[in-house]
């Protein structure tokens, strides 16, 4: 399963769990408009860490939270 | 104080939350205060009848922050389940959380709260005479339970639900939520903050705590010297299996289970949160075995202390001229199932002004970000009697027969608010009463004023509804969505992927169609309502008419919105021309950079100042 597929799966799973209406996931979708909140993202990142074995936010240097869904996927892709 | 008020709830008085898990206990549930060092903590003591009481008690160690808000009602089910087995049970708030006293913002919360757990163990022994204590902790509370067990020989067993094994990883997840929240509200988290304190979902974690957490890893510590441990992981986010194996290797009788329900209990908004029935059942069975094996049922009781009949806590406010405030828990209303915490101003206050703080969604009476506690204490410091209350079916109030648990818009809410206002008017002689609420709390404040509940001011933050049709659920299409979402869809219509999803049946077409259908209808309806109002024809559910009527009665009406909140447009559409025509005592404020629950301290401070200024303004 590709990183993108895993990310998509977690977005969809968390949206259902959190009773949130998930927007269509495209690269240009701003996470602000995704329908998820900050805690949903914390949950997604924790789950992806379990699945992929790393957390791209666990770095010493400053890391900005991705703005779009595409940025989010790339953050994981680039970290592999 | 009226003698009709009490801080004790007979278990028979009110149905427990979603209480299918336990046999109804027949003891009592008392609100109590007790000391931890020089501070006071708030808690709930469940006492089984003396003849059934075990001499093993249970202390419940809550998770922290948003997780504590979400799990509030579920933890009560754990509490009642243990009590039904005959275990005296104490659930409490750590210092600086819930209804307990305030903590120094620089303090190491991990250390302070570990000491609080030990204080709770000692208090349970003192009040009930139990000789051994089991700690039941959830997430951070489970970590605290392990740390406390290492310092307290009275603790002989542990139930750890989704324990934080690595403090560092816990901090990282909070950090991610903080980054996401800042990003989504258009702000950033300064990198220099990394070594400073952290705010997660509006709850503060000090720099000292972050440092202590980062050094805490259960896998590298000596295992707790407790003979019996039950570890229950959430099967959707397991993390404690390896550590449990370490316990077994070290000779602990440790049992590991991975069960469903964790996310639904602690990470799902309170109005949607669910009791983790399988976890409750597993805990009950394990405790039952523990009690059977210990042969201690109905053992001798040492000098047990009865709960005081009127518990209260003195709070010393900060500043140049510290003031002593008094807080006391109260059950009120005709059925005595409504719960709240009263904060009384200093002795001798003669202005007789009061504020009722209403639930935001299904959050219990401390409010989002514990905002109701800080506001209640600030306002009491300025001379107001404040009551932060739970509507029936929410928080620590009982649920009426036939009523749903955790219902955000209960049909009897008006009666509950009326009872609160009556309590303040009759017991404190309040002549000036304000209602304050955020989200659904704002809705209820408006409805109460419209229904002529005798109030002088309504302070409303981020309402998303002005009318609520009975039978509607939170999952139904809301007008707030109608006014908010049309901005999003046009962009998506240009996307090929969007059409692919649409044709693949992955889009709720009916919902989107409804949104586009309703939006122009709303505008049209607003136009006709304005026309009708000019002709003095009153239509049903006419917000403009209601606002005018409330205003004419001299009630000050204040709305505060975070920018971009759908309630702003909805107020304009449903209130129509009336919104522009009302005078100085009708105010609308917009706060830039806030989110729906004002989870970040900057915008929240602005909102709180606006609300306080509006409260203190004499019209």
Q: What is the CATH number of the domain that holds B127?
A: 3.40.50.1820
Of A17, A41, A46, the CB nearest to B180: A41
Is there a contact between A31 and B180 if contact means CB atoms under 8 Å apart?
Answer: yes
- The answer as to whether A27 is a domain residue is yes
Q: What are phi and psi of B35, to 5 degrees?
A: -90, 145
Whether B321 and B361 share a structural domain: yes
- The answer as to whether B464 is a domain residue is yes
pLDDT tens-digit profile of B18-62? 544 444 446 789 999 999 999 999 999 999 987 788 999 999 999
**Which residues of chain B are within 8 Å of residue A41 when distances are taken between CB atoms?**
176-177, 180
pLDDT, residue B24, reads 45
- The answer as to whether A55 is a domain residue is yes
Number of domains into which chain A is organized? 1
Range of the domain at A71: 3-75
Which residues of chain B are at the A interface, by a Cβ-Cβ cutoff of 8 Å?
66, 172-184, 188, 191, 201, 236-237, 239, 263-264, 267-269, 272, 474-475, 488, 492, 495, 497-498, 501, 506-508, 599
Question: Any alpha helices (H) in B85-139, and if so which ranges?
Answer: 109-128
**Spans of chain A, pLDDT less than 50:** none
Range of the domain at B343: 313-482+542-616
Distance from CA of B169 to the nearest CA of A (A): 9
Average pLDDT over residues B8-16: 53
- The Cα–Cα gap between B364 and B406 comes to 10
- Report the Cα B53 to chain-centroid distance in Å: 30
**Cβ atoms within 10 Å, residue B517:** 10
- The answer as to whether B118 is a domain residue is yes
- The answer as to whether B375 is a domain residue is yes
Whether B89 and B187 share a structural domain: no
Average pLDDT of every residue of chain B: 87
pLDDT, residue B484, reads 61
- The Cα–Cα gap between B562 and B67 comes to 24
Name the more confident of B292 and B614: B614
Distance from CA of A22 to the nearest CA of B (A): 10
- The answer as to whether B535 is a domain residue is no
Which range is least confidently modeled, A37-51, B185-199, B587-601?
B185-199
Distance from CA of B441 to the nearest CA of A (A): 21
Whether B202 and B63 share a structural domain: no
- The answer as to whether A80 is a domain residue is no
C-alpha distances (whole Å) from B427 to each of B332, B352, B430, B539, B582 are 11, 11, 8, 38, 34
- Both structure tokens of B199: 């705010």
Of B179, B201, B507, the CB nearest to A65: B179
- % of residues, chain B, pLDDT over 90: 63
Q: What are phi and psi of B537, to 5 degrees?
A: -100, 120
**Which residues of chain B are within 8 Å of residue A66 when distances are taken between CB atoms?**
183
- The Cα–Cα gap between B294 and B276 comes to 27
The answer to whether B54 touches B296, Cβ cutoff 8 Å, is: yes
Distance from CA of A43 to the nearest CA of B (A): 8
- The answer as to whether A45 is a domain residue is yes
Residue B300 has pLDDT above 90, yes or no: no
The answer to whether B114 touches B136, Cβ cutoff 8 Å, is: no
Calculate helix-pair angle for A3-17, A69-79, nearest 10 degrees. Answer: 130
The answer to whether A12 touches A6, Cβ cutoff 8 Å, is: no
HSE toward the beta carbon, residue B499, CA cutoff 13 A: 4
**Which residues of chain A are within 8 Å of residue B176 when distances are taken between CB atoms?**
41-42, 45-46, 55, 57, 65
Burial of B233 (0-12, 13-18, 19+ CB in 10 A): buried
**DSSP 8-state secondary structure symbol assigned to residue A68:** B
pLDDT tens-digit profile of B526-564? 777 778 888 888 888 899 999 999 999 999 999 999 998
pLDDT tens-digit profile of B225-252? 899 999 999 998 889 999 999 999 999 9
Characterize the bridge pairing of strands B155-161 and B132-138: parallel
**DSSP 8-state secondary structure symbol assigned to residue B297:** T
Q: pTM to 2 decimals?
A: 0.86
CATH number at residue A66: 1.10.1200
Whether B322 and B359 share a structural domain: yes
- The Cα–Cα gap between B305 and B308 comes to 9
Of A38, A47, A66, the CB nearest to B237: A47
Distance from CA of B178 to the nearest CA of A (A): 7
Is there a contact between B498 and A42 if contact means CB atoms under 8 Å apart?
Answer: no
Residue B566 has pLDDT above 60, yes or no: yes
Residue pairs spanning A and B at CB distance below 8 A: 86
Residue B579 has pLDDT above 50, yes or no: yes
Whether B350 and B478 share a structural domain: yes
A residues 12..41 contacting B (CB < 8 A):
17-19, 21, 23-24, 26, 28, 31-33, 37-39, 41
- The answer as to whether A25 is a domain residue is yes
pLDDT, residue B179, reads 85
Of A28, A46, A67, the CB nearest to B173: A46
Which among A14, A15, A39 is the top mutation candidate for probing chain B, defined by the most B β-carbons within 10 Å of its own β-carbon?
A39
Whether B361 and B461 share a structural domain: yes
- The answer as to whether B612 is a domain residue is yes
Whether B92 and B182 share a structural domain: no
Is there a contact between A57 and B174 if contact means CB atoms under 8 Å apart?
Answer: no
Of A26, A57, A62, the CB nearest to B497: A26
Is there a contact between A24 and B495 if contact means CB atoms under 8 Å apart?
Answer: yes
Whether B206 and B320 share a structural domain: no
Candidates B395, B400, B407; CA nearest to B336 is B400
Candidates B425, B453, B429; CA nearest to B437 is B453
pLDDT, residue A61, reads 66
Whether B430 and B475 share a structural domain: yes
Distance from CA of A7 to the nearest CA of B (A): 16
Candidates A55, A38, A14, A34; CA nearest to B182 is A38
Is there a contact between B183 and A65 if contact means CB atoms under 8 Å apart?
Answer: yes
- The Cα–Cα gap between B343 and B325 comes to 7
Which among B68, B139, B177, B178 is the top mutation candidate for probing chain A, defined by the most A β-carbons within 10 Å of its own β-carbon?
B177
- Both structure tokens of B256: 């590991």
Whether B343 and B255 share a structural domain: no
Whether B381 and B477 share a structural domain: yes
Number of domains into which chain B is organized? 3
Distance from CA of B465 to the nearest CA of A (A): 18
Distance from CA of B160 to the nearest CA of A (A): 20
Average pLDDT over residues B194-200: 76
Whether B550 and B407 share a structural domain: yes
Is there a contact between A32 and B183 if contact means CB atoms under 8 Å apart?
Answer: yes
Is there a contact between B179 and A63 if contact means CB atoms under 8 Å apart?
Answer: yes
pLDDT, residue B310, reads 75
């Amino acid at each position: 399963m590709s990183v993108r597929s895993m990310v998509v799966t977690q977005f969809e799973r968390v949206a259902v769990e959190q009773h949130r209406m998930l927007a269509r996931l495209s690269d240009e979708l701003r996470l602000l408009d995704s329908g998820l909140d900050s805690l949903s993202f914390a949950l997604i990142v924790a789950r992806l860490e379990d699945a992929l074995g790393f957390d791209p936010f666990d770095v010493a240097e400053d890391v900005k939270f991705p703005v779009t869904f595409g940025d989010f996927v790339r953050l994981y892709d680039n970290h592999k | 104080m009226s003698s009709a008020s009490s801080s004790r709830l007979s278990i028979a008085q009110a149905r427990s939350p979603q209480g299918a898990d336990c046999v109804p206990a027949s003891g009592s549930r008392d609100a109590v205060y007790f000391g931890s060092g020089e501070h006071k903590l708030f808690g709930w003591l469940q006492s089984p009848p003396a003849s059934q009481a075990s001499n093993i008690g249970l202390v419940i160690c809550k998770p922290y922050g948003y997780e504590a808000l979400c799990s509030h009602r579920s933890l009560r089910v754990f509490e009642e389940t243990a009590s039904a087995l005959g275990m005296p049970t104490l659930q409490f708030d750590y210092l600086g959380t819930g209804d307990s006293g305030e903590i120094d913002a620089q303090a190491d919360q991990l250390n302070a709260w570990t000491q609080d757990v030990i204080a709770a163990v000692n208090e349970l022994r003192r009040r009930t005479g139990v000789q051994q204590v089991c700690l039941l902790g959830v997430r951070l509370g489970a970590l605290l339970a392990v740390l406390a067990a290492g310092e307290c020989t009275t603790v002989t067993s542990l139930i750890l639900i989704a324990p934080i094994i690595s403090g560092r990883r816990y901090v990282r997840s909070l950090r991610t939520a903080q980054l996401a929240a800042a990003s989504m509200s258009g702000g950033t988290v300064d990198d220099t903050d990394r070594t400073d304190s952290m705010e997660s979902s509006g709850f503060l974690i000090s720099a000292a705590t972050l440092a202590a957490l980062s050094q805490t890893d259960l896998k590298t510590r000596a295992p707790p010297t407790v003979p019996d441990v039950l570890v229950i992981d959430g099967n959707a986010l397991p993390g404690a299996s390896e550590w449990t194996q370490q316990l077994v290797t070290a000779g602990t009788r440790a049992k590991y289970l991975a069960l469903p329900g964790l996310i639904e209990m602690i990470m799902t908004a309170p109005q949607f949160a669910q009791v983790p029935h399988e976890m409750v059942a597993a805990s009950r069975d394990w405790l039952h075995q523990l009690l059977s094996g210990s042969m201690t049922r109905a053992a001798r009781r040492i000098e047990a202390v009865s709960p005081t009949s009127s518990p209260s806590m003195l709070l010393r406010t900060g500043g140049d001229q510290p003031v002593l405030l008094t807080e006391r828990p109260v059950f009120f209303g005709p059925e005595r199932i409504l719960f709240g915490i009263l904060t009384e101003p200093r002795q001798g206050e003669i202005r007789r002004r009061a504020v009722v703080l209403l639930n935001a969604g299904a959050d219990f009476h401390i409010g989002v970000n514990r905002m109701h506690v800080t506001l209640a204490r600030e306002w009491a410091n300025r001379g107001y009697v404040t009551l932060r209350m739970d509507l029936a079916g929410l928080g620590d109030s009982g649920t009426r027969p036939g009523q749903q648990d955790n219902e955000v818009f209960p049909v009897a809410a008006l009666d509950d608010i009326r009872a609160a206002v009556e309590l303040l008017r009759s017991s404190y002689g309040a002549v000036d009463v304000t209602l304050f609420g955020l989200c659904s709390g704002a809705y209820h404040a408006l409805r109460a004023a419209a229904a002529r509940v005798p109030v002088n001011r309504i302070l409303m933050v981020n309402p998303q509804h002005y009318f609520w049709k009975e039978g509607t659920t939170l999952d139904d299409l809301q007008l707030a969505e109608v006014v908010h979402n049309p901005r999003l869809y046009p962009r998506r219509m240009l996307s090929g992927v969007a059409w692919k999803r649409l044709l693949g049946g992955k889009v709720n077409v009916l919902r989107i169609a409804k949104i586009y259908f309703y939006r122009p209808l709303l505008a049209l309806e607003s136009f006709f309502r304005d026309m009708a109002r000019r002709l003095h024809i009153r239509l049903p559910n006419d917000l403009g008419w209601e606002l005018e009527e409330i205003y004419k009665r001299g009630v000050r009406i204040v709305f505060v919105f975070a920018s971009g909140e759908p309630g702003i447009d909805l107020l304009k559409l449903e209130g129509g021309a009336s919104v522009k025509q009302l005078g100085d005592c009708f105010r609308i404020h917009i706060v830039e950079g806030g989110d729906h629950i004002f989870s970040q301290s900057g915008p929240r401070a602005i909102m709180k100042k606006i609300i306080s200024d509006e409260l203190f303004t004499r019209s």
